Structure 1
Amino acid sequence: MSSAAPRRTAARAAVVGAGPNGLAAAVTLARAGVPVTVFEAAETIGGGTRTTELVQPGVLHDVCSAVHPMALATEFFRQFEIERRVDFVVPEASYANPLDGAAGSRAAIAYRDLDRTVAELGRDGAAYARLYRPLLQRLEGITDFALGGSMLRWPRDPLAAIVTALRTAEQGTPLWGMRFREDAAPALLSGVAAHSIGRMPHLATAAVGIVLGALGHARGWPVPVGGSRVITDALAADVLAHGGQIETNHPIDRIAELDGYDVKLFDTSTRGLLSIAGDVLPARYRRALSRFRFGDAASKVDFVLDGPIPWQDPRVAAAATVHLGGTRAQLATAEFDVAHGRHPERPYVLLAQPTTFDSGRNPADVNAVWSYTHVPRGSDVDVAPAVIAQIERFAPGFRDRIVAHTVTTAAQLAGYNRNYVGGDFSAGAITMRQLLARPALNTDPWRTPARGVYLASSATSPGPGVHGLAGWYAAQSALRHEFGLQAPALGM
């Protein structure tokens, strides 16, 4: 740990919610010498990074996130030296997108090595390279622009911001197919853009896809050894090591319960903040929070198989993440249906196969497979038949491998985590307006108008993902405004 212990302050801080953002905030405050207590409503910490026995005793599945595109690339985790605290496996293939019909034996594969990806994309390889190479050449500037705080600030690398904006404008409008002649490259781009749950083409979904895709060709999409909970464990251990406290089974329903704390940081949705702290928030800010819109949802299907997934194209097994849905047009149709309140017959399915890369997580004869699909917000529909059919489409014989499976509907996700309103795990729809004003138009979106009250969740910039950034930025804002302190060092 850091050798120089900071002087502890008399003022105390409370963090509500022990997801990655809440714990990142607590790490930052504790290391700055602020006595901090984290309150978690559930029995265990972790939020979107829990790992537990979902399907069968003794078989571990990640409850929410399974693969972490931003874990090795974002500034908080880099300063926290996450790679020294957690073991990751980084597959050579970041993600794959199987195609059927004549192209069924040649799935599109996004390797960390851009040149290898380009070589397998046929006639569109050179066009794909021209799209991504300028992004990779300015990757630091692009991650700073997209994830470096409020998007209302002036970027450190204006050229990187311009390159990102141009690629977003191309891939987020009807121009998105102009540089391609075949199906594979557009399918790769659309499969990763669909992570944001929204219509395609659309500027917001394109922006998400461009950044995640660039990370896939740079640092890769890592799998944490032992499951996503090891990330949470590392954060929690650091909080405790620096004098912080964590209380589970302790929901906070009213801000008055925190009267003994000078500063309060909320790793909650905007709806949660309104419910808990609405009495102390100005009316104008309450109205802004009330206007903040939630997006559509996910429904999860976890499987236990008796062997590997029998992919029609064996190369798909080399990717921890697989985007299922077919061509760009087919993916867009599925997302269009969800946006209009329908459950697609052939849905977009995001599948993770961590057993290939973390074989010690479960017994040797068990293959634990994780998947989710997009559904209208609040859905209680059993999506397993549609998901199984979509996997079977690209992996004939998959159905026969299933030993057991468990469905978690969008409605159940909302019950699992208060932040997932209606099953929206992003804590707010990903739209251009809500990327710029998240949750309100402000260069310091984590600081509310109420003295000592901060929002530290995915409902603030830079939005969803396991990156800890929202909590880190909120804590830095609190240190400046409430304590007159600078951000502490985070390394071991």
Structure 2
Amino acid sequence: MERADAIVIGAGHNGLVAANLLADAGWNVQVLEATPHPGGAVRSGYVTAPGYLSDLFSSFYPLGFASPVMRGLGLDEYGLEWTHAPDVLTHLLPDGRAATVNRDLERTMASMEQFAPGDGERWKHAYDDWCAVSADMLKVLFTPFPPVRSGLQLARRLRVGGSLRLARRLLLSVRELGSELFEGEGAKLALAGCALHTDLSPEEAGGGVYGWLLAMLGQEYGWPVPVGGAQRITQALVDRLEARGGRIEYETPVSRILVARGKAMGVRTADGRNWRARRAVVADVPAPALFLDLVGERWLPSRFAEDLEFFRWDGATVKVDWAVDGKLPWKNPAAAGSGTVHLGADLNGLTRYAAHLATDSVPPHPFLLLGQMSTADPSHSPAGTESVWAYTHLPHRAHWSPDEIDAHVARMEAVLEEHAPGFGQLVTGRNVFSPADLQRENPSLVGGALGGGTAAAYQQLFLRPVPGLGRPDTPVDRLYLASASAHPGGGVHGAPGANAARAALTRNRILTGPAYQSMINAAHHAIYR
């Protein structure tokens, strides 16, 4: 039997963050990864044409760059270097106008001012509001729920009136928030396009905070990319872990959590081997797979298993990468310098797009999130060319036929051709990832869901993944959830992994260990009895 202090299931970035923090504490750590590659959804590869590097899943990393978790790991010492496109993002309207966010506040203000007099100053005011709370907000977001210490710091800073106003802002839809902050369509769309990086519609409560967060992070930090591709984040995490004695075994899927007397003792892998965990099992896998497939209902409170039936995934994703022999021929050159481009819809168009998804129908005119990778990092393709991707969402379904995917890719390319006529003639290579392809490449992307579960308010904070504590602790002692299915959810920021590692370390402390688990068990009993 193989032994380690901690068994980490999954070498996605959250699993690697957890493994690193446990290794920092002196634990012997073994990571078991089902696929041949580390990184999960943080990987790069040559899939379109020779010399064109693609980030296969995620690309731009404002949350990763700003995250206290990722910064605290010192990954620059392991080769991680960041770079920026000239502009952060541009939202192209159907009529050809463009709203652009640049790290230079004056340039952003000038772009927003074109849509309505005074919107430049209104953007500055919104950014000033963000700067007043950003450091504390990031701590609140990336620590276990409830964020007592960071929450108190934020409350002291804002006082009662400011705290209530912030709470209200966090509950607004992105349409309402944009309408309250701005007069013109450009600034409203800059927020709304950012909010649609999640699975929320412009009308849903809580959507405004995502638009505000991503847009303001773009203003403060930009949306950087790693030099040499997303894989550089993963490689830095792997190198750091191995330097501390951590081990990773690939192509070793876990088939079962070994539980005795309500306590996680280790895991069994698909090849029949048993792995003993002396202190903790940390799982960077989706919540339904962990609890229903790997643990089993025998070890779960009955209400917990029932609640998992109502776990909701975010939407399916279709992602296309292109090798382009030249730069994209944008009608509006304002898009040429942006790493990320939103295109295909104005605000009402975003609502119609989201309505199609909500009613399980295919959007006839999809909204695209597009990345110009060579604009952000020239090492992605030969000089004068572009490695570009775009993705859009579909309803979450069990199956999509190849013909349905081909038809939707054609719609995506038609939207791009509208804004960049002649684009198709420049394409020298293409790769399509359907929802099924995404799940095949990374089993955690169930049905092509990128966020580990919906971002809707009913599955956030203490409601994630099911109504409970909002913490990585589980009903099984010494088993911790470290994936995007845990609070605070999707994004490459490492918080679920860090929270799980810290919970394991707290549980293991001699003086607090028994009392800690008794508290957790009592809370689970109260919730799920």
Relative to the length of structure 1, the TM-score reads 0.91
Partner of 2:228: 226
Partner of 1:89: 83
2:460 is paired with a residue whose SS is: helix
Measure how far apart 1:132 and its partner are.
Answer: 3.0
Partner of 1:267: 284
Asked if 1 retains the 8 angstrom alpha-carbon contact of 2:178 and 2:191, the reply is: no
Measure how far apart 1:443 and its partner are.
Answer: 4.2
Partner of 1:430: 455
Task: Identify which of 287, 291, 302 aligns with 2:321.
Answer: 302
Question: Structure 2 CA distance, aligned partners of 1:303 and 1:334?
Answer: 24
Partner of 1:451: 477
Question: Structure 2 CA distance, aligned partners of 1:390 and 1:314?
Answer: 17
Question: Structure 1 CA distance, aligned partners of 2:98 and 2:14?
Answer: 35
Measure how far apart 1:181 and its partner are.
Answer: 3.3
Q: What is the correspondence of 1:35-434 to structure 2 with a 5 Å cutoff?
A: 35-85=28-78, 86-101=80-95, 104=96, 106-122=97-113, 123=117, 124-150=119-145, 153=148, 155=151, 156-158=153-155, 159=158, 162=164, 164-172=166-174, 174=176, 176-256=178-258, 257=268, 259-262=275-278, 263-274=280-291, 275-278=293-296, 279-364=298-383, 366-378=385-397, 380=400, 381-382=404-405, 383-434=408-459
- Which residues of structure 1 form unaligned runs of 5+? 1-9, 487-492
- Cα distance per residue 1:221-275 (max 9 Å; x no partner): 1011111010000001111111110001100011131551131110000121021
2:30 is paired with a residue whose SS is: strand
Asked if 1 retains the 8 angstrom alpha-carbon contact of 2:172 and 2:207, the reply is: no
Larger radius of gyration: 2
Question: Structure 2 CA distance, aligned partners of 1:203 and 1:283?
Answer: 30
Question: Structure 1 CA distance, aligned partners of 2:42 and 2:457?
Answer: 26
Residues 301, 151 of structure 1: alpha-carbon distance in 2 compared, 3 angstrom cutoff? farther
- Bigger Cα displacement from structure 2, 351-360 vs 407-416: 407-416
Measure how far apart 1:416 and its partner are.
Answer: 2.3
- Which residues of structure 2 form unaligned runs of 5+? 259-267, 269-273, 513-529
Measure how far apart 1:170 and its partner are.
Answer: 4.2
Asked if 1 retains the 8 angstrom alpha-carbon contact of 2:472 and 2:499, the reply is: yes
Amino acid at match of 1:30: A
Question: Structure 2 CA distance, aligned partners of 1:485 and 1:221?
Answer: 43
Question: Structure 2 CA distance, aligned partners of 1:473 and 1:418?
Answer: 22
Partner of 2:524: none
Asked if 2 retains the 8 angstrom alpha-carbon contact of 1:223 and 1:320, the reply is: no
Amino acid at match of 1:276: L
Residues 208, 144 of structure 1: alpha-carbon distance in 2 compared, 3 angstrom cutoff? same
1:352 is paired with a residue whose SS is: strand
2:475 is paired with a residue whose SS is: coil
- Bigger Cα displacement from structure 2, 419-428 vs 57-66: 57-66
Residues 269, 464 of structure 1: alpha-carbon distance in 2 compared, 3 angstrom cutoff? same
Partner of 1:4: none
Q: Number of aligned residue pairs: give it.
A: 474
Q: Identity percentage over the alignment?
A: 33
Question: Structure 2 CA distance, aligned partners of 1:151 and 1:346?
Answer: 41
Amino acid at match of 2:287: T
Asked if 1 retains the 8 angstrom alpha-carbon contact of 2:42 and 2:58, the reply is: yes
Amino acid at match of 1:330: G
- Bigger Cα displacement from structure 2, 137-146 vs 348-357: 137-146
- Bigger Cα displacement from structure 2, 59-68 vs 162-171: 162-171
Question: Structure 2 CA distance, aligned partners of 1:151 and 1:399?
Answer: 50
- Cα distance per residue 1:334-384 (max 9 Å; x no partner): 122112111112111111111123212333364211110011113623221
Amino acid at match of 2:187: A
Task: Identify which of 9, 14, 17 aligns with 1:16.
Answer: 9
Residues 410, 396 of structure 1: alpha-carbon distance in 2 compared, 3 angstrom cutoff? same
Measure how far apart 1:415 and its partner are.
Answer: 2.5
Measure how far apart 1:406 and its partner are.
Answer: 1.7
Asked if 1 retains the 8 angstrom alpha-carbon contact of 2:84 and 2:377, the reply is: no
Question: Structure 1 CA distance, aligned partners of 2:47 and 2:242?
Answer: 28
Question: What do you get for the CA RMSD once the two structures are aligned?
Answer: 2.2
Structure 1 runs of 4+ with >6 Å offset = none
1:253 is paired with a residue whose SS is: strand
Measure how far apart 1:24 and its partner are.
Answer: 0.2
Residues 11, 250 of structure 1: alpha-carbon distance in 2 compared, 3 angstrom cutoff? closer
1:384 is paired with a residue whose SS is: helix
Amino acid at match of 2:28: P
Question: Structure 2 CA distance, aligned partners of 1:289 and 1:220?
Answer: 37
Question: Structure 2 CA distance, aligned partners of 1:96 and 1:12?
Answer: 47
Measure how far apart 1:408 and its partner are.
Answer: 1.1
Asked if 2 retains the 8 angstrom alpha-carbon contact of 1:39 and 1:252, the reply is: yes
Question: Structure 1 CA distance, aligned partners of 2:31 and 2:199?
Answer: 30
Partner of 1:5: none
Partner of 2:18: 25
Question: Structure 2 CA distance, aligned partners of 1:203 and 1:93?
Answer: 29
Residues 201, 484 of structure 1: alpha-carbon distance in 2 compared, 3 angstrom cutoff? farther
Question: Structure 2 CA distance, aligned partners of 1:178 and 1:206?
Answer: 11
1:48 is paired with a residue whose SS is: coil
Residues 89, 26 of structure 1: alpha-carbon distance in 2 compared, 3 angstrom cutoff? same
Question: Structure 2 CA distance, aligned partners of 1:484 and 1:317?
Answer: 58
Partner of 2:494: 468
Amino acid at match of 1:302: D
Relative to the length of structure 2, the TM-score reads 0.85
- Bigger Cα displacement from structure 2, 135-144 vs 170-179: 170-179
Amino acid at match of 2:141: A
